[in-house]
Amino acid sequence: MPQFPVSPAKQNALLAMMDRYQIKESDLIENFIRGSGAGGQKINKTSSCVQLLHSPTGIEVRCQASRSQALNRFYARRILVEKIARQIEGEKSAKEQQIEKIRRQKRRRSKRAKEKMLANKKHQAAKKQLRKTPSE
């Protein structure tokens, strides 16, 4: 595996994840392309965007998170491993659970749930009202 400009701990963690899901460096097809979006002349001239293709699964990843090509290579591999993990583990994966949690949080409460919540608030308010000192 090539050296990346990250700490050895991060690189070892990536290697461990790749080993766990049997992703070999020889299975990856890596291309360097010019990125898109803001950046002007710099982004139009340099090929710092990394495109990774995992040939056995057909999963493709593009990464241009950093201005550095070497760092983008690392990030692309990490994203690829996460995608393959999600595909293998499905609902159990941490990313899927996080997405599901956010979806549940954004969902509107039902009418009954709102009523129950308001009833509980009124009950709490009544309890606290009884704790007040008597006025003279």
Q: What band does 1 get if pLDDT is binned at 50, 70 and 90?
A: low
| Total count of domains within the chain | 2
Asked whether residue 63 falls in the same domain as residue 106, the answer is no
CB atoms within 10 A of CB 22: 10
> 80 and 115: one domain?
no
pLDDT confidence of residue 136? 62
Of 40, 53, 48, give the one whose Cα is nearest residue 71. Answer: 48
Distance (Å, rounded) from C-alpha 46 to C-alpha 33? 8
For the chain, give the percent of residues with pLDDT over 90: 70
79-99 burial, b at 16+ Cβ within 10 Å, e below that, comes to bbbbbbbbeeeeeebeeeeee
* Residue 17 near residue 81 (C-beta atoms within 8 A): yes
Residue 85 covered by a domain: yes
pTM over 0.75: no
Mark whether 23 and 68 lie in a shared domain: yes
Helices marked H in 21-68 — which ranges?
A: 41-45
Q: What is the pLDDT of residues 89-120, one digit of tens each?
A: 776 677 778 888 999 999 998 999 999 999 99
